[in-house]
């Protein structure tokens, strides 16, 4: 049986939780991605982080053993710079509430970068910037009140660090939204422009998106009409998966990116039962049960996928006891 990835001409990868975990690569991932490329599937790395220049991402990926270059790395700041010329006339004034990287890309795209609402900017663009000042938020808020159009590179609520979660650009957007109401037009995942740009740059006809978050990666893939693989190596695990809303349900699941080189995991539903790879989950007395306790990591993933498909059909089913049996699945 052929590998999952063989059904696709391009694979787009989220970074944190998929390719690396903080400073460390996901074990085996660089070999898997090299193999994906050798099989003729285009690889593109897609990141919502707008503060880091693409070259910094490329250098980091290369340092971790991945084949990265300007042709296969896409940041939300680059997407903003690619999309804004369709929204604003050349030479329009833009107040950047974000990093020097974002301002530089917008300047290259033909806009005049201004720092004050008194410069009457045509647009405000918000992006992640750990050194952002409150005064810059004042200027952005004043400019939007004066009629400037409002954009954001992405709206991630938080950012994972090795010390825990810290506020993402979503917090910065919320400051302005708290003052004014409304919301910006947003380019990054889960919004369509980012994946549309990835498709445009790769020329893909049938891509798959690989991510670790249901609410950004998988929801973004679904919004773009793209198949997706949820990997359980990052933020979201089995408890999130069984509760996923219809917009955030992945096409496939896998322990990590190595699932791309394995046969696709497919579940068959019939008469209140789901079967995947020989593992059977059934609904009985309001809860999901397995025909026999699944042993081993791969069988547990099959069992999880069977249970998940039943839980999506009937969210009132209790999945707790079944998931507790899957002790080798995150």
Containing H/E element for 281? Answer: strand 279-284
Near Mg ion by CB under 5 A, which window of 7-15, 29-37, 222-230, 320-328? 7-15
Handedness of CA 34, 36, 40, 44 (dihedral sign): negative
**CB of 256 or CB of 302, closer to Mg ion:** 256
Minimum separation from the CB atom of position 15 to Mg ion (A): 6
The answer to whether residues 92 and 147 touch, using CB atoms and an 8 Å cutoff, is: no
Stretch of 162-170, 189-197, 209-217, 321-329 contacting Mg ion, by CB under 5 A: 209-217
If one asks whether residue 14 binds Mg ion (CB under 5 A), the answer comes out as: yes
Should residue 17 be labelled a site residue for Mg ion when binding is judged by CB under 5 A? yes
Closest CA to 30 of 80, 66, 55: 66
Vertex 220 angle, CA 185 and 3, to 5°: 155
Give SS3 for 256: coil
Q: Which residues are catalytic?
A: 14, 16
Q: Closest separation between CB of residue 240 and Mg ion, Å?
A: 13
User: If binding is defined by CB under 5 A, does position 294 make contact with Mg ion?
Assistant: no
The closest alpha carbon to 16, from 54, 60, 55, belongs to 60
- Consecutive H or E run containing 227: strand 227-231
Q: How far is the CB of 47 from Mg ion (least distance, A)?
A: 9
Residue closer to Mg ion, measured from CB, 244 or 311: 244
Contact 164, 198 (CB under 8 A): no
- Contacting range for Mg ion; rule: CB under 5 A; set: 27-35, 141-149, 211-219, 320-328: 211-219
215 binds Mg ion (CB under 5 A): no
Hey, which residues between 236 and 265 contact Mg ion (CB under 5 A)? none
Q: How would you classify the pairing of strands 268-270 and 273-276?
A: antiparallel
Q: How far is the CB of 28 from Mg ion (least distance, A)?
A: 17
Binding residues for Mg ion, rule: CB under 5 A, are: 14, 16-17, 212
């Amino acid at each position: 049986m052929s590998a999952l990835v063989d059904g696709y001409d391009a694979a787009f990868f989220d970074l944190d939780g998929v390719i690396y975990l903080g400073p460390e690569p996901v074990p085996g991932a660089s070999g898997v991605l090299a193999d994906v490329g050798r099989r003729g599937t285009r690889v593109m790395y897609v990141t919502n982080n707008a503060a880091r220049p693409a070259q910094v991402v490329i250098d980091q990926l290369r340092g971790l053993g991945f084949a990265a270059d300007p042709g296969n790395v896409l940041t939300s700041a680059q997407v903003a710079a690619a999309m804004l010329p369709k929204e604003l006339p050349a030479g329009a004034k833009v107040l950047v509430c974000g990093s020097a990287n974002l301002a530089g890309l917008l300047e290259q795209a033909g806009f005049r970068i201004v720092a004050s609402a008194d410069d009457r900017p045509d647009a405000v663009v918000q992006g992640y910037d750990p050194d952002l000042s409150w005064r810059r938020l004042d200027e952005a808020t004043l400019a939007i009140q004066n009629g400037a159009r409002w954009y954001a590179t992405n709206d991630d609520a938080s950012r994972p660090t090795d010390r825990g979660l810290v506020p993402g650009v979503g917090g910065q957007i919320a400051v302005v939204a708290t003052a004014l109401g409304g919301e910006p037009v947003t380019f990054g995942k889960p919004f369509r422009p980012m994946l549309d740009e990835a498709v445009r740059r790769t020329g893909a006809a049938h891509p798959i998106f690989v991510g670790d978050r249901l609410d950004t990666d998988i929801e973004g893939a679904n919004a773009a009409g793209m198949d997706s693989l949820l990997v359980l190596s990052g933020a979201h695990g089995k408890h999130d998966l069984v509760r996923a809303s219809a917009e955030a349900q992945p096409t496939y699941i896998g322990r990590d990116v190595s699932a791309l080189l394995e046969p696709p995991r497919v579940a068959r539903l019939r008469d209140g039962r789901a079967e995947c790879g020989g593992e059977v989950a059934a609904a009985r007395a309001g809860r999901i049960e397995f025909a026999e306790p699944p042993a081993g990591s791969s069988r547990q993933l099959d069992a999880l996928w069977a249970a998940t498909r039943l839980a999506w059909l009937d969210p009132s089913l209790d999945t707790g006891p079944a998931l507790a049996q899957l002790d080798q699945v995150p």
